[in-house]
Amino acid sequence: MRQKLQLLRLQHNTVFSRSICWTITLICYLATAIYVIHLRSLQHTVTAVPTSKLLLTNYVASIASAMKVNGIACKDLFSSSHNVVNKLNASQRHIGTPITDIEYVDLASKCSRFQKTRGYIMLSLTEEEEEFPLAYSLLVYKDLEMVERLLRAIYRPQNYYCVHVDQKSTVEFYSGMSAIVSCFPNVFLTSVRISVRWGTFSVLEPELLCMKELWRYPKWKYFINLTGQEFALKTNFELVRILKAFNGAIDVSTWRKRINFDRWNNTTPPFGIKPMKGPVHIVVHREFVNYVLNNSTAAALLKWTKSTKVPDETFFATLNANPQLGIKGTYLEPEMTVNRPYIARCKIRKWMANETCAGRYVRGVCILSTGDLPRLGKAREMFANKFFLNEDRLVIGCLEEKLFNDTRDEFIGTKYVDTSYYSQLDFVKNQVT
């Protein structure tokens, strides 16, 4: 009992001293932000002049230090063997105080405070990122803290975020999510909410809804879809560089070997289109989204997929595997896809003999945990799927720490982003132009 009390007191003290640190940090970067915005309003071009570069550096560094996991050497966990990871005990994996869904209503009631205390990056940082906005759809259902930490990791003022809250979500979740969304002009909820059921058209529907609503914003270059149980492995700067290295290609994987023809009920798509199956995560450019929303061939294909099982695994993969449609950026060699690398997601499945999962599998998908950090730290993929915050909070803490460190180091120029791997990818070299 006494031990427990001491532990509580200890936690309380850490929280307290941390909040002092935070306050100082925050004042510092608030001042920085105001000054930078002021500087930027004076100049038309944002080429970082020495002073503003220095201020921005401090701003980014302050966020990186606020994301430091206290008392744990994340750096070692990224490089360590299983022994070190196994020595971690349960309390270390549950590091930090969970935030309940309903607490977010209060937290986000004062937006500027919310942005600051949660460490959102409220500046584009580089011209290169500013000129290459991204559009995201986020299909979310539960565990708001995980969703919010994902949003924080990918948030930049120049990007757009369409959030679909499942109709089955709790009132607390929805209220919390709405409160967060109202704090950012470029984050919005879909006008319609759908009850998403695996294997049905309802999985595809919110995606199409988001594409439609995002289309209103003219500037974004690529569309990425995410769920609330995923996390970023790359900084915004890296995503921009990788997508530029794609050179117009899209990343929609195709699994010729794993097709289950019974899903299609012995029917074939219209116009001699060859059906294809693929995983559900996509990274596609603006023209592809336009084709999906506007072209009558796409509409006919969509109508056909509606009559099949698990349509979401067919629709985009099929569009990507029919080069005769002439959709720019799609794959020229769909017959050759055996083990094509897939950049959108790191998702370890049970049937991938080659990969190991440090924790357990749920419906054949690895629930990533602290023991997977060495794999995640070296990953080429943009995002990882999937995480359960209530089972392992440390893995997210360490990924955040690395992500914000990388943001800082790329900004000051001590970390170089090498995209040669991406520009040499088969689907990049063999695309419809």
- Binding residues for ligand NAG, per CB under 6 A? 74-75, 78, 89, 91-92, 139, 203-204, 207, 215, 225-227, 265, 280-282, 290, 293-295, 297, 307, 309, 312, 316, 325-326, 354-355, 401-402, 405
Task: Please give the Cα distance from 31 to 393 (Å, whole number).
Answer: 31
Give the β-pairing of 365-366 and 222-227: unpaired
Q: Which is nearer to ligand NAG, 41 or 420 (CB)?
A: 420
CA 97 to chain centre: 23
Among the listed residues 360, 338, 336, 340, the one whose alpha carbon sits nearest the alpha carbon of residue 348? 360
Least Å distance, CB 320 to ligand NAG, is 11
Is the Cβ–Cβ distance between 47 and 124 less than 8 Å?
no
* Residue 333 a catalytic site member: no
CA 264, 266, 269, 273: dihedral to nearest 10 degrees? 100
Task: Please give the Cα distance from 218 to 326 (Å, whole number).
Answer: 23
The phi, psi pair for 285, rounded to 5°, reads: -90, 175
Residue 337, token pair as written in the block: 């896809």
Least Å distance, CB 292 to ligand NAG, is 8
Least Å distance, CB 100 to ligand NAG, is 24
- Count Cβ atoms below 10 Å from residue 74 Cβ, excluding itself: 21
Q: Which is nearer to ligand NAG, 91 or 420 (CB)?
A: 91
Local structure of 251: helix, strand or coil: strand
Helices (H) and strands (E) in the chain, counts: 19, 10
Is the Cβ–Cβ distance between 175 and 204 less than 8 Å?
no
Least Å distance, CB 91 to ligand NAG, is 5
Catalytic residue among 205, 238, 313, 410: 313
Q: Which is nearer to ligand NAG, 145 or 372 (CB)?
A: 372
Tell me whether the omega of the peptide bond preceding residue 386 falls within 30 degrees of 0, making it cis.
yes
Which residue is listed with tokens 């061939």?
297
Which residue is listed with tokens 């959108």?
344
Least Å distance, CB 108 to ligand NAG, is 23
Task: Please give the Cα distance from 209 to 138 (Å, whole number).
Answer: 11
Least Å distance, CB 51 to ligand NAG, is 23
Give the strands of the sheet with 345-347, arranged side by side: 230-232, 383-385, 345-347
Q: Which is nearer to ligand NAG, 45 or 354 (CB)?
A: 354
Q: Which is nearer to ligand NAG, 107 or 313 (CB)?
A: 313
Least Å distance, CB 249 to ligand NAG, is 17
H helices present in 43-170, as ranges? 50-66, 74-79, 82-87, 90-93, 103-107, 111-117, 127-130, 144-154
Instruction: State the residue number with the nearest CB to ligand NAG.
Output: 312
Catalytic residue list: 313
